[in-house]
Amino acid sequence: MRAGESAAGFKPLTDFIDQLAKVTISSSQKINSIAAKLSKTSSNKVRVDSAITHFEKAYRISGYQGQILCLNDIYNEIQDNQNQLQTAYVNELASLSNELEMLSLELRTAIILATLSRVEASQAGSLYQDSLINVADNVESSALSIKALIYESQKLAQGLET
């Protein structure tokens, strides 16, 4: 049996590795972009929340009388901004969670394919079997490492939902 024939079953694995690398890079870029946007939104929301707290304190101190009431338009505008930031925050967090889940599913596929590739390797002949199993093991090991990081990221994202 020729080497090309023995390893023919690994073409899907090598193609998948290439595709997985592209998906992982693309997802990582999206996740980083979403996380940066989420961080900016969160910072803005903290500032707006603080401003609202100061407005409310000023209203309480003034007893809602006199010139302080001229700030109502600004206060209402800040409250609208707060609502928009809250909506953006929730949407960005959902987007981050979805992207992490999609990448996790892609990696689950990699683990399944690595298992199937080991079966294929067992039929490839002794000359190439160890090398092909090693490739499958490396794919699975990498996928599991990335999945562990995704799991930690998902736990952190769930903590932000409050």
- The full set of domain ranges for the chain reads 13-160
Burial of 43 (0-12, 13-18, 19+ CB in 10 A): exposed
CA 121 to centroid of chain Cα atoms: 33
Rg of the chain in Å (alpha carbons): 26
Give this prediction's pTM.
Answer: 0.77
Q: In whole angstroms, how far apart are CA 96 and each of 34, 109, 149?
A: 6, 20, 14
Name residue 108's amino acid. Answer: R
Q: What are phi and psi of 63, to 5 degrees?
A: 70, 25
pLDDT the model gives residue 114:
84
pLDDT the model gives residue 1:
45
pLDDT the model gives residue 134:
87
In the chain, DSSP finds a helix count (H) and a strand count (E) of 4, 0
Q: CA neighbours within 13 Å on the CB side: how many for 73?
A: 2
For every one of its 162 residues, what pLDDT tens digit does the chain have, with 9 covering 90 and above?
455 555 565 676 678 788 888 988 999 999 999 999 999 999 999 999 999 999 889 888 887 677 777 888 899 999 999 999 999 999 999 999 999 999 998 888 888 888 887 887 777 677 778 888 888 898 889 889 999 999 999 999 898 876
